[in-house]
Structure 1
């Protein structure tokens, strides 16, 4: 999956959108009505299907990129800023998962790591009273530490006992989900005398600054995510530690023979991945939501798996994949509101993208692409003639 070409990845997205278009048309009431008399007037069905699909995808675009019908320039660009805002935790978590994938670890615990990052960062944000700058810095560091410690548990178990990281991180996800639910019933995390599972609001000194003013939700966490992507690129491509991670991922036995500590690499990979996912939690609790709730992580941790795979675990690809999935999330609500298309279609698109990315041979078969390393018959004949 990680070695597939960009062309296969792009075609997987196209195929997912085509199949989703069929589902959008099938769910439309006008299309269903036209299907009843298809043999009498077949063009009515085709026209209704085209209209339903076009309107849905236009609404998706207007809700995630730009709305030409908005009354002001600021409102026209607000969908793009929403896409960027939603993409922040996806980029953070996707970067962390990508490091694990390239090191041979299938870490699917980003959901729990986001939650624990949000718990620690949120508590520092609303429980302490610190000066401007210092408060936000400590809250962000706390979020990174929360995620790093939570992921480090899986790393240590993998290194010391050989425990399967998939099973361990799944269990840690469930523990984190129920732990945050419990914490929100305790007095340190409750908002006054409220019986609702919600924390006090994060102090203004611990909130990410808004980048475009109060009319937009886009905050400085987006810039931190871009900086993290640059840092991950340097780590994996320019540092000794990154070289060791990639060596362990390619062949742990050869890496051990070369004198590298495979066990230490496993621990550090998980710690760094958890810290990045924890920063995703900080984006939620210190930037977007400004409070800690049981659903603070939404489904970002699981969506980040797709983001990392779609971006082929490379920083630049992960950033673009995070923006794509942010657009699907932000535009999905607009599509539902404007056209009545079920928002579950967005989940179908995401799932189909995962399916096709996980099966590159299927995509190649649909579009009749040659397999990697395959020699076309004409080229082979030329080589044989030359020989």
Structure 2
């Protein structure tokens, strides 16, 4: 049994390790073909990441990535592709910022209100795609892409001074959230680490417990594996699809909270975008497991922040972007290769067990006849 568990763990780790190795190899080949040193950029990034202030930036960026990836992973476990996390989290952050700036409450209640509003807005926006899928059969891929574009337009309209926004120089914001609505951060030598990292960790634990230790999680995974089989066992597949989209959207709504409550305290035109798409990469890399997602978030955050040093050393920082793209491609290929290898190993193991059982029966037959 221990040998079997060890083999499963090895196969689970083989996919991401192989994907990262292939991405590094291919990126090095690109550097070599373009006449650059294929090793030095990695050394420069690692050395740059050794600075404690850069490490703080990496951890903060990874916190946001982690929550976005969890939102994507919920959909993946249900066999749903929620591409709309980016629109869900930006719209949620903006509405939450407006609400947070317009009220004054005791600190705990103020922060809780902002978080609840963000989760509800994210769930509402994802729920539209869920309703379209369950009632009209519209693919969530198509609907969430369209909802991303609509969210961008809605935000652009609402942030106008004539609506909910305020003009601050050349920027537009939703107004400053009072200090009572700020989430406390951790002070370190290298700067402030978002206190929301604690909430992110709790979300990861809740994600694992719900999916692996509850009846709801079993029904969700069963429906994702086969809706017809789940329906035969009494699970309402349509209800599970809608519920999964609502949960995914609610988590996505919280993805903007580390920045909103930890540093910016307002939503403006320069609020981070593209987090949702990065979350897809991280969820794939982490194989939808909360621990794997954490490592994936740190890796992508490292590439984002450490690549800044490349510009100052004669290399294009887009090298990190190339690597991220190659990781996505390599993840799909490597996971399929590992899956096929695992299937062959399982078939081989079953064959060995059957052969051993047949040999044992033969020995027993001989002893009985003797």
TM-score range for the pair, normalised by the shorter chain length: 0.7 to 0.9
Q: Select 1:354's aligned residue among 328, 332, 335.
A: 328
> What is the Cα deviation at residue 15 of structure 1?
1.0
**SS of structure 2 residue aligned to 1:374:** helix
Give the Cα separation in 1 of the matches to 2:352 and 2:187: 61
| 1:69-88 correspondence runs (5 A) | 77-88=52-63
State the match for 2:82 in structure 1. 107
| 2:171/2:269 contact within 8 Å kept | no
CA shift for structure 1 position 295: 4.4
TM-score by length of 2: 0.86
Matches within 5 A, 1:1-387: 5-27=12-34, 32=35, 52-64=37-49, 66-67=50-51, 77-187=52-162, 189-192=164-167, 194=169, 196-212=171-187, 216-337=191-312, 339-360=313-334, 371-374=341-344
Following superposition, the deviation at residue 17 of structure 1 comes to 0.9
User: Aligned partners of 1:156 and 1:381: how far apart in 2?
Assistant: 49
Measured in 2, the distance between the counterparts of 1:363 and 1:381 equals 23
Please give the TM-score of this superposition, normalised by the length of structure 1. Answer: 0.82
Query: d(CA) in 1 for partners of 2:112 and 2:289?
Result: 27
Deviations 1:52-97 (A, max 9, x none): 3443112212333x23xxxxxxxxx222211110011211111111
Contact 2:183 2:195 in 1 (8 A): yes
Shift of 1:234: 0.7
SS of 1:372's partner is helix
Do the aligned residues in 2 keep the contact of 1:63 with 1:335 (CA within 8 Å)? no
Where structure 2 has 5 or more consecutive residues not aligned to the other structure, the ranges are: 1-10, 360-370
Contact 2:185 2:193 in 1 (8 A): yes
CA contact (8 A) 2:161 2:167 kept: no
Deviation at 1:192, TM superposition (A): 4.9
SS at match of 1:200: coil
Q: Would the alpha carbon gap of residues 85 and 351 (structure 1) be closer, same or farther in structure 2, given more than 3 Å must change?
A: same
Hey, what's the Cα distance between the residues in 1 that align with 2:168 and 2:15? 55
- Whether the 8 Å contact between 1:180 and 1:294 is mirrored in structure 2 is no
| Partner Cα separation in structure 2 for residue 240 and residue 283 of structure 1 | 31
Deviation at 1:214, TM superposition (A): 8.7
Shift of 1:362: 7.8
- For residues 288 and 240 of structure 1, the distance between their equivalents in structure 2, rounded to whole angstroms, comes to 38
Separation (CA, whole Å) in 1 of partners of 2:152 and 2:310: 30
User: Number of aligned pairs?
Assistant: 347
| Contact 1:57 1:335 survives alignment (8 Å) | no
Report the CA distance shift for 1:361/1:142 in structure 2 as closer, same or farther (over 3 A): closer
Residue 186 of structure 1 deviates from its aligned partner by: 3.3
Aligned residues of 2:98 and 2:175 also touching (Cα < 8 A) = no
Q: Deviations over 1:155-199 (max 9, x none)?
A: 111112211100000001111112112222134533356452333
In 1, Cα distance between equivalents of 2:219 and 2:337: 33
- How far does residue 384 in structure 1 lie from its aligned partner after superposition? 7.5
SS at structure 2 position matched to 1:217: strand
Q: Which moved more, 1:183-192 or 1:233-242?
A: 183-192
Secondary structure in structure 1 of the residue aligned to 2:186: coil
